[in-house]
């Protein structure tokens, strides 16, 4: 299926201990899949395995017609995967504009056009294009990290705990942007501990516990107050 990030039979082990156990899921273009779970559930390991940052075994890992298994992280990025890690990890000494440009391989005119597009998508960054990233607020740094990932025009965007450390109003603004990004045709896989916020924007939800999928379904049918879901998220 064109534009689908498809994962089947993915497992990750650290020193013989399974962190992710035979996970299978699909993220279609234009949809958000919320990956929920307590600390240690395997969310980060799953995302890092998909983008090639940790070793894994997998039966199928593909983006559209492209087989990602065995490719380096750089080749996976070239194929259309972008990743926003937990903690944002912007380059503090670079300006906002430089942070956005750093991942692009394009001529000056194309770089300028893409940066302008990101500043239009994240207006809070528009008047700070020449500011060093360390001077930004936490919410602005998160927006910058997402803009840096999006400027490559990915087909799939993976995010790890984007609301971590953000004030509720700022987190709501970031999540509103994520919904707009998906509506523009990007497949979004969102790992998040704030179930209520994630379910509010997601199309589907997958709950991990001890590295395995224990619950999945339409986000609209899951309530963050459901005792079964609450128990799974408590670890």
pLDDT tens string 151-209:
988 999 999 998 888 888 888 888 988 999 999 999 999 999 888 899 999 999 999 99
Residue with tokens 């986000």: 219
Q: Is the pTM of this model over 0.85?
A: yes
Tens place of pLDDT for every residue, the chain, 235 residues? 346 999 999 999 998 899 999 999 999 999 999 999 988 899 999 999 999 999 999 999 999 999 999 899 999 999 999 999 987 789 999 999 999 988 777 667 777 888 898 898 888 898 899 999 999 998 899 889 999 999 988 999 999 998 888 888 888 888 988 999 999 999 999 999 888 899 999 999 999 999 999 989 999 888 777 776 776 676 5
CB-hemisphere CA count at 13 Å for 174? 29
- Distance, CA of 59 to CA of 61 (rounded, Å): 7
Strand pairing of 60-63 and 212-218? unpaired
Domains of the chain: 5-90+139-233 (3.40.50.300)
Say how far residue 121 (Cα) sits from the centre of its chain.
Answer: 17
């Amino acid at each position: 299926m064109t534009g689908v990030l498809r994962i089947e039979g993915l497992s990750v082990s650290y020193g013989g201990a399974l962190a992710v156990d035979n996970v299978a899921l699909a993220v279609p273009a234009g949809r958000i899949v919320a990956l929920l779970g307590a600390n240690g559930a395997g969310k980060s390991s799953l995302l890092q395995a998909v983008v090639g940052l940790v070793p894994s075994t997998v039966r199928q890992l593909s983006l559209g017609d492209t087989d990602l298994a065995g490719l380096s992280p750089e080749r996976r990025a070239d194929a259309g995967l972008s990743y926003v890690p937990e903690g944002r990890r912007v380059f503090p000494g670079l300006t906002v504009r430089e942070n956005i440009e750093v991942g692009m391989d394009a001529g000056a005119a194309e770089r300028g056009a893409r940066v302008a597009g990101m500043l239009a998508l994240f207006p809070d960054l528009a008047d700070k294009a020449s500011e060093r990233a360390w001077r930004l607020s936490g919410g602005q740094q998160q927006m910058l990290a997402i803009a840096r990932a999006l400027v490559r025009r990915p087909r799939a965007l993976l995010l790890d705990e984007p609301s971590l450390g953000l004030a509720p109003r700022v987190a709501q603004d970031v999540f509103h942007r994520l919904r707009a990004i998906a509506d523009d045709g990007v497949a979004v896989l969102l790992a998040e501990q704030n179930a209520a916020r994630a379910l509010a924007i997601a199309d589907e939800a997958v709950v991990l516990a001890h590295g395995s999928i224990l619950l999945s379904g339409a986000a609209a049918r899951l309530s963050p107050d459901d005792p079964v879901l609450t128990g799974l998220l408590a670890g």
